[in-house]
Amino acid sequence: MASYVILAQFTDKGIHDAKDTISRADKFKAMAEHAGVTVKDMYWTIGAFDVVSICEAPDDETATALSLSIATRGNVRMQTLRAFTPAEMGRILGKMV
């Protein structure tokens, strides 16, 4: 499974309904499970992003489909980053020419 960091920023709608953020997170986890994505950790943060999720998905397409599905609800804007373990990065470096 590939690892992903999902960064979320509340939209105006999302911040207006901030008290619902934990229940929305539970819905996100359920949607992720249904899509074949495992949510390893989720954090509410201070700074440029309001929520950071660490997930595992079988491929980029699955991770992107989940992020798009969440973003269409209008509560957050998403950025999905592919994350590499040290072993994966070692294989990538080994392919450098």
Query: How confident is the model over 23-82, as pLDDT tens digits?
Result: 999 999 999 999 999 999 999 999 999 999 999 999 999 999 999 999 999 999 999 999
d(CA 48, CA 56): 23
pTM of this structure: 0.91
- pLDDT value of residue 30: 97
Q: What percent of the chain has pLDDT over 90?
A: 100
- pLDDT value of residue 66: 95
Query: How confident is the model over 73-91, as pLDDT tens digits?
Result: 999 999 999 999 999 999 9
Superfamily holding 2-94: Dimeric alpha+beta barrel (3.30.70.1060)
Mean of all residue pLDDT scores within the chain: 96
